[in-house]
Structure 1
Amino acid sequence: MELEEKTRLADYNELFRGGDPSAYFNVRVSEFLPTAILPSRQGVMLLGNNPMPEIGKIEAELTSESKLEGPLTLDEFLEQSDFAQAYLVVHKGDIVYEKYPRLRPEDHHLWMSSAKPMASLVIDQMISEGKVDDSEPITTYMTDFQGTPWDGVSVKDVMDMASGMDLEDTSESRFDPDNIARRVYESEFGFPNETRGVENLRDVLRSTPKREEPGQAFHYSSGLTQMLVLLAEEVDGERWHQIFDRRVWSKVGAEGVLQLHLTPDGIVAAHGLVSSQLRDFARFGMLYTPSWSKIATEQVVSDEIIERIRREVRSNDFMMAGFDGAVFADFLGSEDFIANSRQWDVIWPDGDMWKGGLMTQGLYVSPARDLVIVYFNVNNDDHSGHRYARKIATSGLFEQ
């Protein structure tokens, strides 16, 4: 079947609802969208192996929407769930827990929004190099956005999803054809909007109206991540997949290729349409840990960048003032975090970081514990898969 026909037959709602069509889409996105392939340029830098079966005995309460009866241990959850795809824990460069109940280790799977820190990492590198000042309006660098409501929105406000622009992702906006958030997704797939036809992503973003003054509250938006992609392209003068390859992925000794899926006009949908094997997903997380040298030839996430993520975190009140603050608290089963920061959904007082994704993907990084936890799921109703990572990290198994 030709790509154009597959895309035409694919239904936006069906692809992102969860269930079998979503499961197929999650592992075969390159059949639907143009894709930039980033190979490993360093050869494989293998992870060690030091199994800790006690991780599977860690127990968590399930979300209220779950059809399973909890609490369940991680082993029980992965066995009983019909949507948990894979789970991996890496400590000090060693695989300590790895299970693939509904996926093969060599399969590629979408990271969904867990990919968003990729975009902020590139901008943070540019900030460290003096190429970008995050206190400046983003229109300083993106001149074709000048004269639009984006004037006055700082790069930092975009990084922290505090832009005040009306393009927030919610369970309603994603399926409202008149909403900018929905139009962003449709433009990325080349799907026609019900009233506007096929739109260009950059034009959709330029048309975003203002909702409130910047910096008031956390309003989660994939469109803001795409603004960072466009910003990086303006500053470095290359397409984003070339930028990310040169700055980050070419330094990583990955096991498979990294797939960056593109809009019809060649823009990487770095807010979530990124695919890899689970172990390479973990390798990205390891760039933020002391064990970066076990999977990369250069330190691409500097100590300065990690400190910036932690030091410049906003308040819990700021995060909870937005729609998704309470959503993330429910996903995680607690509100013991500080707030979001620089495209990471949650920063805890101990410096741990978490980024979730649609259909319950997850990336958890604990720099202090030298720990990375990644997982794939295909469910938009039961988000119980998020509840194990923090419990694993704080179980006492990984304290110095």
Structure 2
Amino acid sequence: MRNWITPLRSSCKHALLGTLLLSATPIAAQDRTPLDEFVDGFPMKLEKETRDADYNELFRGGDPSAYFNMRVSEFLPTAILPSRVGPMPLAENPMPRIGEVKAELMEASALEGPLSLDAFLDRHQGAQAFLVVHKGQVVYEKYPRMRPEDHHLWMSCAKPMASLVIDQLISEGRIDQNAPITDYLTDFKGTPWDGVTTRDVMDMGSGMDLEDTTESRFDPENVARRVYEAEFGFPNEIHGVEKLRDVLRGTPKLEEPGKAFHYASGLTQMLVFLAEAVEGDRWAQIFDRRVWSKVGAEGALQIHLTPDGIAAVHGLISSNLRDFARFGMLYTPSWDKIATEKVVTDEILARIHDEVRSHEFIMAGFDGPEFADRVGTDDFIGNSRQWDLVWPDGDMMKFGLMSQGLYVSPSRDLVIVYFNVSDQDLSAHRFARPIATSGLFDE
């Protein structure tokens, strides 16, 4: 960690922390090595380039982004969760018609739309892998620019991992979601966090001033930026090197809780602290005991940590694509095909679906309209418990930086996951909802 952070400090003392956010400067196609050339490994010089890169370079979709997405454990402390029950293989039942589903691409795309999924994966240079699982069977799987066994960052698609643990603790009566979160995080008492409930944090409606916005990313005084700087051990130009917990404890209040959706990775980290406080254990071990030890994964789950050992569950989680899908399958009727125990109960699913706040709630924040643009529709109800979008049919979706995606349809017993390295053109998100509603999975 020290070897990586040192050159970053010297090369971008006053740079924008790239974080798990959108960069203001896109990488032109001609300035990026085709991902095809990295399938069998990265050149040695790119490792050094990535180690010397500033944060903006790491997350703007260029060559260092490609390296960092698939080699995070070289740069950050990492907790390794092996498969404790051994792999539970997924059956295969190919459905080629999935590849024929078309979507209208986003304006940022250099490709002409609408395109079929097959054509998109073939032509879009940022597309690395796409997988669809129906009733526990792999029905569509392509790896145009990575290997099936490779690890890749989930980015913010990891956030429901945190809410799942909290929902388990709520079901056990160990957390009252309507009580102030400071009842459990006692060192936050006497701060603006007083009065913010666990449910407010779960739904990103805390009213606290740490929303990830264009403005906050450039403001060295803003908590949103300082959260990421603290996670990477990077010095804030005003406050120096800070601890994540100290930064979050000093978050100012923006408005009363429950008014609007204000997307903030710092809120996910509050759930990490909450779980650790209630369980008296570190988060990686909690998640392993409660969830991952029940999953018949093919590879190890990598949980990347801050310099002082805090699990960065808001986005720094890595696995292969099939194990990413296995996490989504925990929310479907086919959970028993990849797990020894039902860890997402009907009660938890009901809370996700039935306690969705209003459409006005999500659209009042910075990211609500952005999310609508990503999927090309605003027909969703809202967000819920760290899931970005929930539709009237119960389908759920989570986005990740550089176009990682997790889509779960419990009613259709369907999971869609995909990996990309694409910072500006997020058109990969446009395919999940049309695939789910194509009629191919309706009985």
TM-score after normalising by structure 2 = 0.89
State the shift of 1:111 in Å.
Answer: 0.3
**Alignment CA distance shift 1:179-1:4 (3 Å):** closer
Picking from 392, 405, 414, the partner of 1:371 is 414
Q: What are the equivalent positions in structure 2 for 1:66-77 lying under 5 Å apart?
A: 66-77=109-120
Alignment of 1:106-255 (within 5 A): 106-255=149-298
User: For residue 268 of structure 1, what is the aligned residue in structure 2?
Assistant: 311
Of 350, 362, 369, the residue aligned with 1:319 is: 362
The root-mean-square deviation of aligned C-alpha atoms, in Å, is: 1.1
The verdict on how the C-alpha distance between 1:74 and 1:293 changes in structure 2, with shifts beyond 3 A counting, is same
Q: Secondary structure at the match of 2:214?
A: coil
Residue 338, structure 1, aligned to residue 338, structure 2: no
Q: What SS does the aligned partner of 2:59 have?
A: helix
Contact 1:6–1:32 (Cα < 8 Å) also in 2:
no
CA distance in 2, matches of 1:394, 1:80: 24
1:107 CA displacement: 0.6
Question: Equivalent of 1:286, from 325, 329, 354?
Answer: 329
- Which whole-Å CA distance do the structure 1 matches of 2:84 and 2:292 have between them? 8
- Aligned-residue offset at 1:195: 1.8
Q: What is the letter of the counterpart of residue 39 of structure 1?
A: P
Aligned partner of 1:56 in structure 2 is 99
Work out whether residues 13 and 175 of structure 1, in 8 Å CA contact, stay in contact via their aligned partners in 2: no
Contact 1:87 1:98 in 2 (8 A): yes
Secondary structure of 1:250 counterpart: helix
Match of 1:92 among 119, 131, 135: 135
Deviations 1:145-190 (A, max 9, x none): 0000000001000000000000001234234333211110111111
Distance 1:175 1:370 in 2: 42
Whether 2:428 is the aligned partner of 1:389: answer: no
The amino acid that maps onto 2:362 is M
Give how far 1:5 is off: 5.0
**One-letter amino acid of the structure 1 residue matched with residue 432 of structure 2:** A
Q: Take 2:316 and 2:174, find their aligned partners in 1: how far apart are those partners?
A: 27
**8 A Cα contact 2:5 2:233, kept in partner:** no
Provide the rounded CA distance (Å) in 1 between the counterparts of 2:399 and 2:4. Answer: 29
How far residue 362 of structure 1 moved from its aligned partner, in angstroms, is 0.5
Contact 2:167 2:348 in 1 (8 A): yes
Relative to structure 2, which stretch is displaced further, 119-128 or 15-24? Answer: 15-24
State the secondary structure of the residue aligned to 2:193. coil
Identical aligned residues as a percent: 75
Provide structure 2 residue ranges, at least 5 long, that are not aligned to the other structure: 10-51
Distance 1:274 1:31 in 2: 13
- The normalised TM-score by structure 1 is 0.98
Mapped partners of 2:144, 2:138: distance in 1: 17
- Aligned pair count reads 400
Contact 1:58 1:391 in 2 (8 A): yes
Tell me, in whole angstroms, the C-alpha distance in 2 between the residues paired with 1:176 and 1:338: 32
CA distance in 2, matches of 1:358, 1:4: 22
Paired with 2:427 and 2:99, the residues of 1 have a C-alpha distance of 15
Where does structure 1 lack aligned partners over 5 or more consecutive residues? Answer: none
Displacement after TM superposition at 1:196 (Å) = 1.5
User: Residue type of the partner of 1:88?
Assistant: L
**Separation in 1, partners of 2:348, 2:327:** 15
